[in-house]
Amino acid sequence: MQDRVPARAHAVITDSTGRPIGTVTSGGFSPTLDRPIAMGYVTASHARPGAPVGVIVRMVQREAEVVTIPFVPHRYHKG
């Protein structure tokens, strides 16, 4: 999410033209990243890292970006 308003479950994810392409499954504020984060499902054609998307929060389309998970890299060693 590009601004400080977190998306919540069932928020609509849109493409750059405002057409619905998916749904948020969960979202909230990340104290580690100091910004909102959300997870959801989008169509396969939009599921690439760096793809710009919109999320409708409080009846306003907010800018967001598709990223890979985990949002914060882990710091443990698998051995």
Which CATH number covers residue 51? Answer: 2.40.30.110
In the prediction, which pLDDT does 36 show? 95
Q: Residue 33 sits in which domain range? A: 12-65
In a domain, residue 79? The reply is no
Residue pointed to by tokens 């009846």: 59
**Dist. CA 38–CA 8, nearest whole Å:** 7
In angstroms, how far apart are the furthest CA atoms of the chain?
A: 47
In a domain, residue 44? The reply is yes
**Dist. CA 20–CA 55, nearest whole Å:** 9
**Dist. CA 37–CA 14, nearest whole Å:** 16
In a domain, residue 72? The reply is no
In a domain, residue 60? The reply is yes
In a domain, residue 45? The reply is yes
pTM: 0.86
Per-residue pLDDT of the chain (79 residues; tens, 9 = 90+): 778 899 999 999 999 899 999 999 999 999 999 999 999 999 999 999 999 999 999 999 999 999 998 888 888 877 7
Phi, psi of 46 (to 5 degrees): -110, 0
In a domain, residue 52? The reply is yes
DSSP bridge partners of 29: 36
In the prediction, which pLDDT does 43 show? 97
Domain count, the chain: 1
In the prediction, which pLDDT does 75 show? 82
In a domain, residue 40? The reply is yes
